[in-house]
Amino acid sequence: MEEEFNEVEQVEENDSRIERDVILATRDELFAAKEELSFVKEELRKAKESSDNNLNKLKYMLADFDNYRKQMDKQVGSKIEENKAELMLRFLNIRDDYVRAVGIAKQSKAEPVVVEGLEGILKNFDHLLKSEGVIEIETIETPFDPNVHDAISFSYRDDLPESTVTDEIRKGYMLDNKVLRPSLVEISKKIVKNTVNDTGKAENGTEN
């Protein structure tokens, strides 16, 4: 009986030892797992911080690239406008020469069919310029505007307000709401009259 009791006690003791070992092993595993989890969390935090930094850098790079692209587009657009303006100015110079040629043909009493043909070509010329956005600047009897007019002469006029355009020496044009070539114009000036007191004259004459 005593032997059986000892055996039972021995078994219980072994079970307690096993249970204790299991508990200790489990505790060690939990501790290791916590340490590993803490390590993983720290690595994740570092990775997220690095990712956020890289994302911000990428955003800055994209913003810089977008600004660069816009600047380049603006420069290209400006260069295209400059080249177009230069080309249109050349066309206008040719038009001026052509208008003079038409005038000479009329004065020399050339054949009507020839004059009509030349005027037809001039209309096509003007249509081309208009289709490219070239518009004539208004001049005659409009107020002088230094932004679009160049005054190169004047005339004394009492029937018009001061600085009114009285004549157009050379046509001016706008291109896309910008002055392509200012108009050369003549403007009005008021006649300055010296007034004399006739009554005073008469009185002075009587006294003499």
Q: Which helix (H) or strand (E) holds 6?
A: helix 2-107
| CA count, 13 A, side-chain hemisphere, 33 | 6
Handedness of CA 107, 110, 113, 118 (dihedral sign): negative
Cα separation, 171 vs 185, in Å, equals: 9
- Read off the pLDDT of residues 48-77 as tens digits, 9 standing for 90 and up: 888 889 889 999 999 999 999 999 999 998
* Pairing between β-strand 183-189 and β-strand 165-170 as defined by DSSP bridges: antiparallel
Whole-model pTM: value is 0.62
**Residue closest to 172 by CA, chosen among 163, 181, 160:** 181
* pLDDT beyond 80 at 195: no
- The residues near 133 (Cβ < 8 Å, ≥ 6 apart) are 175, 176
* pLDDT beyond 60 at 153: yes
| Percent of the chain's residues with pLDDT above 90 | 44
